[in-house]
C-alpha cells in the first residue's frame, strides 16, 4: 500500500514502475486528474488505495475510439466511471443551450476534452475495448440521473443513465462505503450481476427477481415519459426516500427489465470522515498539466478546508438533497486543524485560508436530535418557510473550529467564502458568530443567497421570506460599522424560477433599484436533473403539493432576465416591453424610482401618474401564479438551477460591490 503523497498511475509506464501487471480498478473521469479532497475522483481512488486496491487513473481519455481505454489493460475487478465533479451537459452548455467557451475542470480551461453525456460514452468505449468487464457508474451525473429524468437539453424524459449506458451498476450519493463493499464482494469472486443488496446502488434485473429491501413504489417508464403528473408524483416519492434510516427501495419498469434503486447508504460519521480527509492527497493537479496552464478548478479550493457534508437547507433548485442528502455530518476540529497545518506547507500559500466551509458553511451537525434516530422529516423542512421548533441553532463549535485554525502557525487570516445560510444565522439568539464573521472572516464582501424578493417565488424555491434577508442585511452593515469596516454583500438572485411571473420579476427589479444593486452577471434558472424545481419547470406542478405552478415561456424568460440588468443598453428594449406588457408604464420615466428611462426616439411617451410606485406581486399580471396555463403555446419554461450571480456595483454602504473573479455558486 502506497502511503506517500504520490499521484496514482496515469500511464502504463507509471503502473509498471510500481510493479503492477494490471490494476484492480481503472477510474475513468471526465475531469482532469486533481488529487485533492474537493474532487470526488481523488477521494474514491484514495479510499480504495487505502484499503489495498490498485487504482489507475484514466482522466479525460480520448473518447473518439476505444484505444485509450486499453491503456492499462483489462482491470482485475472493473472500471469505475464518472463524468466528473459536475454533470457533463452542465459543464458544456449554458442555460441558453449555447456551448461554453471555458471548462474549469480541464487543463488550461480547454473545452472538448470530455464528451456530452460522459457516463454513456465512456461505458460504450469500455464495452468496445473489453466486452463484459464490470462497469460501475458514480459521481454527480450518475447520481442525479439514476431514475428516469427530465432532460433539459433533449426536452424529454430520458431513461435512467444505467439503462442508457449499458453499465452493470450505478452508485449514488457519497460513495466511499458503497464502493468499498462492492470492491470486497468483487474481490471475493462474486459476479457483478449478483451484487444486489448494497445500499446506495442501482441495479437492473427482471420483474421476478428478489428485491432485498422494502419497496416504496414501482413506476412504469412509458407512463413517466408521457404523464407529467405521474412523473411529479414519482419524484416526490424518490425525494422522500432519500434517507438512510427510513428510506425504501424504488423500482422502475422498462419493458421486461426492472431497475431497482436500493435505499441510501448511511452517511459517514465524524471518525470516518476524519479518516477520509487524512489520506495522502497531493492536493494539486497532476504535473502533466503544468505546460497546459494547470487546472483552473484547483484555485478555488487549494487553500480551503471542507468541514461538513449534507445540507438541511433543502432549497428546491439545489440537487444536494438528492445527492449528499439532508443529514449533515462534519469532521472533528482536530482533523480540520491538521489539514490546515498541511495547507501552510504547500507551495504558494501566503497565510490565507480561503474557506472553511462546505455545501453550507455554518452547518456542523444534524438539524435536530431526532434526525439521528428517526431520519430527516419527509414532510417538513428544517428552515423554510420558518425554522422548525426542534431546530438546534448553535454556532459555538463552528466558532471554535475557525479560532483553532486561525491559531495555526503560518495562518494570517481565515475567510468564509462558500456561503452561509443567513436565516440560520438570524435564528441564533447568540450574536457571537455573526460578530466574529463580520469582524474577522469576511474578505471585504460576503456571498449570501436571498434568491428573490417575491413571497410566492420564494415559496416555490423553498426559501424564507425576504424580510429575513432584510433583517440580516441591516444587522450585517450595523455590525460592520461597529467593527470599523466598510464591507459589502454579494446577493445571489435568480430569474425565471418556476412560480416567477413577469410582475414578480418587476418586483425584484424594483427592489434592486431601491437597494442600488446593479447585477453584473445574470443567469436564468437552469433545469438540471435531480431537483424539485426542474420537476416544476417540466410538469407545471409542485411535486410535493400537487399544486399548479406558473412557468414562463421562452420569450418571457428573456424579459425576466433583462429586468435584472436594466442598465445594459442591449436590454433596454426588452425592459420597456416587459413593463408595458405588465401594465407598468409608470416605471418608465425619469423619476428616481423608475426602472428605466423612456426611449429618446419614442415621441409617444408621456409621464405616468404615480410614477415609480412599488410593484406588488400579482399586480397587473393577467395570469395568477398558481395557474397551469402557460403563455407561448408549447409550454412556458424558464431556466437556471444556479440562478443569477449578481456582483453589484458599490453605491454606498448598503450595496454590493463588483467581483471580477469567477465565484462558484454554493447556495
Cα separation, 473 vs 446, in Å, equals 11
Note the pTM of the prediction, 2 decimals.
0.90
Q: Check whether the bond before 48 is cis (ω within 30° of 0).
A: no
The mean predicted confidence, pLDDT, of the chain is: 90
- Of 51-60, 85-94, 268-277, 600-609, minimum mean pLDDT range: 600-609
Confidence of residue 146 (pLDDT cuts 50, 70, 90): very high
Helix (H, G, I), strand (E, B) or coil at 467: helix
pLDDT in tens, 100-132: 999 999 999 999 999 999 999 999 999 999 999
In the chain, count of helices (H) and strands (E)? 23, 21
Cell of 552: 414562463
Q: Predicted confidence band at 622 (pLDDT cuts at 50, 70, 90)? A: very low
CB 654 within 8 A of CB 515: yes
Show the DSSP H helices in 502-592 as ranges. Answer: 502-515, 532-539, 554-563, 572-581
What are the extents of the domains in the chain?
12-204, 479-667
Q: Would you state the torsion angle of the CA atoms of residues 146, 151, 154, 155, taken in this order, to the nearest 10 degrees? A: 140
State the fold for domain 12-204: Rossmann fold (3.40.50)
Q: Mind listing the pLDDT tens digit for each residue in 413-470?
A: 999 998 899 999 999 999 999 999 999 999 889 989 999 999 999 999 999 999 999 9
Taking 70 as the threshold, does the pLDDT of residue 157 lie above it? yes
How does pLDDT run across 18-28, given as a tens digit for each residue? 999 999 999 99
Higher pLDDT, 204 or 443: 204
Q: How confident is the model at residue 5 (pLDDT cuts 50, 70, 90)?
A: low
The set of cell numbers assigned to 346 is 504547500
Q: For residue 604, give every residue at least 6 positions away whose Cβ sits within 8 Å of its Cβ, in sequence order, or none.
A: none
Mean pLDDT for 479-492 is 92
Cβ neighbours of 171 (radius 10 Å): 26
DSSP output for 445-460: EEEEEEE-S-HHHHHH
Please report, to the nearest 10 degrees, the dihedral formed by the alpha carbons of residues 313, 319, 320, 326 taken in order. 50
Could you read off the pLDDT of 340-374 as tens digits, one per residue?
999 999 999 999 999 999 999 999 999 999 999 99
Amino acid at each position: 500500500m502506497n502511503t506517500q503523497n504520490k499521484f496514482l498511475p496515469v500511464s502504463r509506464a507509471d503502473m509498471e514502475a510500481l510493479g503492477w501487471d494490471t490494476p484492480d480498478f481503472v477510474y475513468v473521469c471526465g475531469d482532469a486528474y486533481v488529487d485533492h479532497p474537493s474532487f470526488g475522483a481523488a477521494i474514491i481512488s484514495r479510499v480504495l488505495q487505502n484499503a489495498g486496491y490498485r487504482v489507475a487513473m484514466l482522466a479525460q481519455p480520448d473518447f473518439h475510439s476505444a484505444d485509450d481505454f486499453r491503456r492499462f489493460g483489462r482491470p482485475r475487478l472493473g472500471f469505475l466511471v464518472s463524468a466528473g465533479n459536475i454533470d457533463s451537459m452542465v459543464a458544456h452548455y449554458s442555460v441558453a443551450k449555447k456551448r461554453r467557451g471555458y471548462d474549469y475542470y480541464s487543463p488550461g480551461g480547454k473545452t472538448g476534452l470530455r464528451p456530452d453525456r460522459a457516463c454513456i460514452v465512456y461505458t460504450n468505449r469500455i464495452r468496445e475495448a473489453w466486452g463484459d468487464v464490470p462497469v460501475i457508474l458514480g459521481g454527480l451525473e450518475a447520481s442525479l440521473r439514476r431514475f428516469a429524468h427530465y432532460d433539459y437539453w433533449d426536452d424529454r424524459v430520458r431513461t435512467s443513465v444505467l439503462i442508457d449506458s449499458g453499465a452493470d451498476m450505478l452508485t449514488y450519493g457519497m460513495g466511499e462505503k458503497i464502493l468499498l463493499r462492492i470492491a470486497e464482494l468483487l474481490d471475493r469472486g462474486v459476479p457483478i450481476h449478483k451484487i444486489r443488496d448494497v445500499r446506495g446502488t442501482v441495479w437492473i434485473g427482471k420483474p421476478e427477481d428478489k428485491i432485498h429491501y422494502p419497496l416504496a413504489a414501482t413506476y412504469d417508464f412509458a407512463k413517466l415519459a408521457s404523464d407529467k403528473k405521474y412523473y411529479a408524483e414519482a419524484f416526490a416519492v424518490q425525494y422522500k426516500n432519500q434517507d438512510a434510516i427510513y428510506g425504501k427501495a424504488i423500482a422502475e419498469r422498462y419493458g421486461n427489465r426492472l431497475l431497482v434503486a436500493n435505499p441510501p447508504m448511511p452517511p459517514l460519521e465524524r471518525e470516518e470522515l476524519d479518516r477520509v480527509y487524512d489520506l495522502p492527497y497531493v492536493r494539486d493537479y497532476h504535473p502533466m498539466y503544468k505546460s497546459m496552464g494547470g487546472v483552473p478548478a484547483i484555485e478555488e479550493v487549494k487553500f480551503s478546508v471542507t468541514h461538513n457534508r449534507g445540507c438541511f437547507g433543502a432549497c428546491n433548485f439545489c440537487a444536494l438533497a438528492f445527492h449528499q442528502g439532508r443529514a449533515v455530518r462534519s469532521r472533528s476540529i482536530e482533523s480540520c486543524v491538521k489539514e490546515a497545518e498541511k495547507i501552510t506547507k504547500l507551495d504558494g500559500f501566503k497565510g490565507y485560508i480561503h474557506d472553511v466551509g462546505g455545501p453550507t458553511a455554518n452547518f456542523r451537525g444534524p438539524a435536530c436530535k431526532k434526525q439521528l434516530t428517526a431520519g430527516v422529516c419527509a414532510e417538513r423542512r428544517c428552515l423554510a418557510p420558518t425554522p422548525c421548533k426542534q431546530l438546534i441553532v448553535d454556532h459555538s463549535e463552528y466558532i471554535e473550529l475557525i479560532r483553532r485554525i486561525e491559531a495555526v502557525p503560518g495562518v494570517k487570516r481565515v475567510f468564509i467564502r462558500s456561503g452561509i445560510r443567513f436565516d440560520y444565522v438570524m435564528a441564533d439568539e447568540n450574536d457571537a458568530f455573526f460578530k466574529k464573521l463580520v469582524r474577522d472572516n469576511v474578505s471585504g464582501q460576503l456571498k449570501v443567497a436571498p434568491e428573490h424578493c417575491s413571497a410566492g417565488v420564494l415559496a416555490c424555491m423553498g426559501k424564507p421570506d425576504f424580510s429575513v434577508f432584510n433583517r440580516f442585511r441591516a444587522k450585517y452593515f450595523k455590525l460592520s460599522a461597529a467593527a470599523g469596516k466598510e464591507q459589502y454583500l454579494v446577493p445571489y438572485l435568480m430569474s425565471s424560477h418556476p412560480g416567477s411571473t413577469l410582475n414578480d420579476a418587476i418586483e425584484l427589479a424594483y427592489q434592486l433599484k431601491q437597494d442600488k444593486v446593479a447585477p453584473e452577471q445574470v443567469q436564468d434558472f437552469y433545469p438540471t436533473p435531480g431537483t424539485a424545481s426542474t420537476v416544476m419547470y417540466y410538469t407545471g406542478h409542485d411535486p410535493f403539493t400537487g399544486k399548479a405552478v406558473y412557468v414562463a415561456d421562452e420569450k418571457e424568460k428573456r424579459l425576466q432576465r433583462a429586468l435584472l440588468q436594466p442598465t445594459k443598453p442591449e436590454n433596454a428594449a426588452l425592459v420597456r416591453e416587459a413593463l408595458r406588457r405588465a401594465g407598468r408604464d409608470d416605471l418608465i420615466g425619469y423619476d428616481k424610482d423608475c426602472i428605466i428611462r423612456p426611449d429618446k426616439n419614442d415621441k409617444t411617451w408621456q409621464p405616468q401618474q404615480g410614477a415609480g410606485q412599488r410593484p406588488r406581486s400579482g399586480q397587473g399580471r393577467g395570469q395568477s401564479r398558481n395557474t397551469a396555463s402557460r403563455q407561448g403555446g408549447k409550454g412556458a419554461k424558464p431556466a437556471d438551477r444556479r440562478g443569477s450571480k449578481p456582483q453589484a456595483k458599490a453605491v454606498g454602504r448598503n450595496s454590493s460591490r463588483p467581483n471580477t473573479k469567477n465565484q462558484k455558486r454554493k447556495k
